[in-house]
Amino acid sequence: ERQRARCEIPELEAKREQQVVALEDFRKHLEGLEAKRKRGETLSSQERMHLQNARVNIEAAAKNIEKGDAAIAEARKRAGIGK
């Protein structure tokens, strides 16, 4: 069990890091859309939908990152690794 938990930790950390990067990329994308809208440029229907659903999507991504943090902590606990 400990060995499996030790092997699981890097995988969980990599997955969490990917989620953090994806969230940052999404926020940058939304900033670009907001800037485009403020300049008076027309947004496509897909771009408008992204802006409308942004808060929900960001909250979901943040919850997934929190779940990842909890999974990493649990795996470290099972493996007997502090940190």
In tens digits, the chain (83 residues) has pLDDT values of: 778 888 899 999 999 999 999 999 999 999 999 999 999 999 999 999 999 999 999 999 999 999 999 999 999 998 888 65
pLDDT at 83: 59
Q: How far apart are CA 8 and CA 16, in angstroms?
A: 12
Helix, strand, coil percent content, the chain, rounded in steps of 5: 85, 0, 15
Q: What is the pTM of this model?
A: 0.81
Residue 58 near residue 27 (C-beta atoms within 8 A):
yes
